[in-house]
């Protein structure tokens, strides 16, 4: 009888059970806090095939990963992603507990049924404003009705929706409570996210950083906000807003470090496994797979576990300073 593959446990005793996989660095939006207006993306020769992504996913599952999230860029701009979801989704109930997706929603209406058929039961949709003009300003090119249609289609297909909203000082902070109410009215959860210092953009993040402890305190003046003990595998802390009957998540990489319980790693579309969103430590899994098959991949994972850092070092530096990490979020996977 073949012994089971060893679990993925890092040098600090943390068990890795959650992997975020970027299937493309490309995106059809250009959100101001995430990307520069003019971006250079990877050539096709530099990215993994869907079959390679599925094979590496299998290796992760065999070694104890229970949740996989497909991300980008915008994952649904890559042809064949629903097929990839089916390949990975075949492991649901066979080592994998959950397969999810983060999307900007622009192409969700076209793929919601296929994602549901692949086994997805909940997805995250990035949505930073419910005002069409402000939404276009934040995304530079976005069409809000198209995104809302995608959310409606996914809900109709039986997929639970969590809205991800990046809280931006002076830009959408006045929409946080209306977004919370909209989510409550439509049966969605809401997670608020602090802007992260990843990659050079055309604006200064100092001007947009909004600490979420202050946002929570302001909401608590109007609503009863009760902490929840549940976790979904990610970094969010969750609360129940009693009067609205909605779940609120807070992701606070800057104002409150959450690294002590980190259980995740991120795989880029080029096959680089980043051990921390806020660190440049990485291992090339594509090369390991191509050169050594499964034994080479397992050896690379052992090297990765040994160098996973204890914590990220995110900070919003002085105005005009370089970002804490040079790569954009779209490279690593949101």
Residue 181 is assigned to a ligand binding site: no
Domains detected in the chain:
18-332 (3.20.20.70)
Residue 183 is assigned to a ligand binding site: no
Residue 27 is assigned to a ligand binding site: yes
Residue 262 is assigned to a ligand binding site: yes
Structure token pair of residue 259: 């690294």
Residue 102 is assigned to a ligand binding site: yes
Residue 265 is assigned to a ligand binding site: yes
Rounded to the nearest 10°, the torsion over CA 293, 296, 300, 305 is 100
Residue 196 is assigned to a ligand binding site: yes
Residue 276 is assigned to a ligand binding site: yes
Instruction: Supply the pLDDT for residue 223.
Output: 98
User: Do residues 117 and 87 lie in contact, with contact meaning Cβ atoms separated by under 8 Å?
Assistant: no
Please give the C-alpha separations between residue 121 and each of 18, 68, 99, 320, in angstroms, as whole numbers. 17, 13, 8, 42
Structure token pair of residue 124: 């995250």
Residue 20 is assigned to a ligand binding site: yes
Structure token pair of residue 158: 């039986």
Residue 266 is assigned to a ligand binding site: yes
Residue 73 is assigned to a ligand binding site: yes
pLDDT in tens, the chain (334 residues): 456 789 999 999 999 999 999 999 999 999 988 888 888 899 999 999 999 999 999 999 999 999 999 999 999 999 999 999 999 999 999 999 999 999 999 999 999 999 999 999 999 999 999 999 999 999 999 999 999 999 999 999 999 999 999 999 999 999 999 999 999 999 999 999 988 755 444 555 567 788 999 999 999 999 999 999 876 656 789 999 999 999 999 988 665 555 667 888 999 999 999 988 767 789 999 999 999 999 999 999 999 999 998 775 555 554 444 444 455 555 666 5
> What angle (nearest 5°) sits at the alpha carbon of residue 257, between those of residues 251 and 261?
90
Rounded to the nearest 10°, the torsion over CA 247, 148, 72, 264 is 10
């Amino acid at each position: 009888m073949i012994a089971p593959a060893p679990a993925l446990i890092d040098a600090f005793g943390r068990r890795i059970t959650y992997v975020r996989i970027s299937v493309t660095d490309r995106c059809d939006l250009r959100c101001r806090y995430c990307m520069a207006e003019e971006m250079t993306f990877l050539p096709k020769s530099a990215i993994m095939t869907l079959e390679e992504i599925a094979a590496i996913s299998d290796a992760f599952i065999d070694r104890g990963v229970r949740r996989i999230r497909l991300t980008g860029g915008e994952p649904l701009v890559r042809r064949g992603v629903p097929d990839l979801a089916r390949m990975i989704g075949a492991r649901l109930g066979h080592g994998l507990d959950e397969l999810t997706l983060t999307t900007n929603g622009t192409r969700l209406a076209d793929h919601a049924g296929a994602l549901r058929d692949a086994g997805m039961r909940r997805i995250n949709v990035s949505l930073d404003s419910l005002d069409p003009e402000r939404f276009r300003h934040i995304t530079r090119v976005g069409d809000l009705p198209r995104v809302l249609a995608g959310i409606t289609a996914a809900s109709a297909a039986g997929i639970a929706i969590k809205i991800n909203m990046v809280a931006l000082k002076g830009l959408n902070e006045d929409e946080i409570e209306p977004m919370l109410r909209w989510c409550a009215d439509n049966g969605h959860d809401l997670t608020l996210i602090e802007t992260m210092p990843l990659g050079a953009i055309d604006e200064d993040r100092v001007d947009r950083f909004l600490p979420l402890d202050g946002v929570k305190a302001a909401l608590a003046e109007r609503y009863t906000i009760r902490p929840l003990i549940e976790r979904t595998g990610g970094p969010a802390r969750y609360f129940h807003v009693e009067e609205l009957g909605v779940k609120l998540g807070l992701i606070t990489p800057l104002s409150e470090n959450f690294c002590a319980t980190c259980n995740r790693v991120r795989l880029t579309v080029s096959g680089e496994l980043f051990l921390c969103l806020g660190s440049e430590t990485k291992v090339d899994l594509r090369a390991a797979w191509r050169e050594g098959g499964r034994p080479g991949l397992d050896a690379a994972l052992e090297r990765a576990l040994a160098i996973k850092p204890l914590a990220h070092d995110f900070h919003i530096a002085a105005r005009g300073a370089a970002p804490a990490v040079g790569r954009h979020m779209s490279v690593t996977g949101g």
